[in-house]
Amino acid sequence: MLDGVVAQSKYPLAYHITPLHGLLNDPNGLVQFNGKYHVFYQWNPTGTKHINKNWGHMVSDNMVDWERREIALAPSEYYDKDGIYSGSAVVKDGILYLFYTGNVIEEDGTKKSYQCYATSEDGITFDKKGPLFAHPEGFTRHVRDPKVWYSETEAKWFLLLGAQTNELLGTAIWYVSTNLIEWEYLGEILSADSEAYMWECPDLFELDGQWVFLLSPQGLPAKGHQFQNIYHSVYFPVVRAGSKYEMVNEKMLEIDWGFEFYAPQTFEADDGRRILYAWMGVMEPEVEQATPTISEGWIHNLTIPRELQFENGKLKQYPVPELALLRKNKTTYTLSEPWLVASDEYAYELLMDVESEASFTLSIKDGTKLFYDVKDRSLTLERINWLTQQPETRKTLLDQPLTDVHIFIDGSSIEIFSNAGTSVASARFFEEGPFVMRYEGEITGRIDIYELEHKNPLS
Ligand code: FRU
């Protein structure tokens, strides 16, 4: 069941988290509290511009069936009057704590950031408690996106922030606390980045025995097939070195090789899984403003939830198994011959099982295509840019033969997971006309195609 303006959209999304209306950006405050999953998100309920950010709120028992709640946090106080910016959530002694950045524009135009918190006993209504500490010295006003976690081994809480040094370099700083309220400044957690001018939405967690840093840097130059989008989201393994962390190698790797994936945040579920949501996503401002849903009064969605693992120095991402609850009827085709699916349905899950690899093309409508070229083991995602009307591509090279491709399609969104979660891409696409999927290729193998339930967003 769809609600809000998304219900009448020409580009509906059946199972992704969207705003009711207006603009959605980063996922915030991801947490499991009293058994229920809470997803908050940056939300401008009054229009499709990046102003007036609130925390929208969705609650679920299974990350598939969602209940939409009232706005959790709205701008109101001297320390957050121009926006409740991104942040995170933790649970302590049965209380849900939300940490966020208050965005303030003074009358003379000066902009300020306050790191703030709010608490809740029921997970529905939140009490703002105000700023946590003074703005740190040595940084511009670009300090934001608190991510808080508990270290069992140190029996302490840590708070991580994205920041910009006075020399205009991207970095992250951190604080330590025993009670979530009094925080001691620890300084920069890594050495500042000489290529990025700002680091947004940092995240740090232990995964399969390795500490992993996640980050949304701004300003990285393109490198090979990487960093082709306006802003990027990267990961890299780190090790603790005194009151800092160090990169294990000097490489930042893109989390998603598609278009516009941005501002990912993770949380640890009660069963120990590390789950990620991200915003789909960040675009050049002129492309964003040309997005066809703007004329319908809404824009953007979150990704599906992805479970993370870390193996052989690489992040692996899998759609959470709960998404199988969406499955309806299934059809199976061989991958050695062409096939075509044409229907009014637009919500699908595709599972390609590759016995022996070969080149293939999968197209959706006419302009959105996934190619695999067996000669250089390249996967290419092509779509029609809705501003220029020209095709544009993103590409990655696999380091192993193709073994599997798992795709989630939802009207105007595609998420592709290949080779056991080691290579992941997502994108939006906006094309009119009937929903047709075509396959051509000579892979030995088969594909299961499920039509998926329409769930989102439940009111
Ligand atoms: C990332 C970001 C965050 C900020 C929020 C504001 O997309 O710029 O750094 O807190 O969005 O909406």
Strands (E), 258-304: 261-268, 274-280, 298-299, 301-302
Domains of the chain: 5-315 (2.115.10.20), 321-452 (2.60.120.560)
Instruction: Indicate the DSSP class of residue 305.
Output: P
- The set of catalytic residues is 26
* pLDDT tens figures, 47-71: 999 999 999 999 999 999 999 999 9
Give 339 Cα–ligand 1 centroid separation in angstroms. Answer: 42
Give 116 Cα–ligand 1 centroid separation in angstroms. Answer: 15
Give 228 Cα–ligand 1 centroid separation in angstroms. Answer: 20
* Minimum-distance ligand 1 atom for the alpha carbon of 262: 7
* Global pTM value: 0.97
* pLDDT tens figures, 264-321: 999 999 999 999 999 999 999 999 999 999 999 999 999 999 999 999 999 999 999 9
Give 46 Cα–ligand 1 centroid separation in angstroms. Answer: 17
- Please work out whether the CB of residue 115 comes within 6 Å of at least one atom of ligand 1: no
* pLDDT tens figures, 398-429: 999 999 999 999 999 999 999 999 999 999 99
- Please work out whether the CB of residue 101 comes within 6 Å of at least one atom of ligand 1: yes
- Report the candidate in 201, 199, 213 with the shortest Cα–Cα distance to residue 168: 199
Q: Whose CA is nearest to atom 8 of ligand 1?
A: 200
- Please work out whether the CB of residue 53 comes within 6 Å of at least one atom of ligand 1: yes
pLDDT at 1 over 50: no
* Residues 384, 364 contacting (CB under 8 angstroms): no
* pLDDT tens figures, 329-367: 999 999 999 999 999 899 999 999 999 999 999 999 999
- Please work out whether the CB of residue 144 comes within 6 Å of at least one atom of ligand 1: yes
* pLDDT tens figures, 154-168: 999 999 999 999 999
* Minimum-distance ligand 1 atom for the alpha carbon of 162: 9
Q: Whose CA is nearest to atom 9 of ligand 1?
A: 200
- Report the candidate in 360, 373, 365, 325 with the shortest Cα–Cα distance to residue 342: 365
Contacts of 182-191 with CB under 8 Å at 24 or more apart are 183/132, 183/133, 183/159, 185/133, 185/136, 186/243, 187/243, 187/244, 188/163, 188/244, 189/160, 189/244, 189/245, 190/238, 190/244, 190/245, 190/246, 190/247, 191/244
325 backbone dihedrals φ, ψ, rounded to 5°: -65, -20
Give 42 Cα–ligand 1 centroid separation in angstroms. Answer: 8
- Do strands 127-131 and 298-299 pair parallel, antiparallel, or not at all (unpaired)? unpaired
Residue 433's pLDDT is what?
A: 84
285 backbone dihedrals φ, ψ, rounded to 5°: -55, -40
CB atoms under 10 Å from CB of 84, counted, come to 30
* pLDDT tens figures, 99-113: 999 999 999 999 999
Q: Whose CA is nearest to atom 1 of ligand 1?
A: 263
Q: Which of 26, 116, 203 to mutate to test the pocket of ligand 1 (most atoms within 8 A of CB)?
A: 26
* Residues 445, 354 contacting (CB under 8 angstroms): yes
- The pLDDT-based confidence of 4 (bands split at 50, 70, 90) is low
* Minimum-distance ligand 1 atom for the alpha carbon of 200: 9
- Please work out whether the CB of residue 85 comes within 6 Å of at least one atom of ligand 1: yes
Q: Which of 197, 201, 279 to mutate to test the pocket of ligand 1 (most atoms within 8 A of CB)?
A: 201
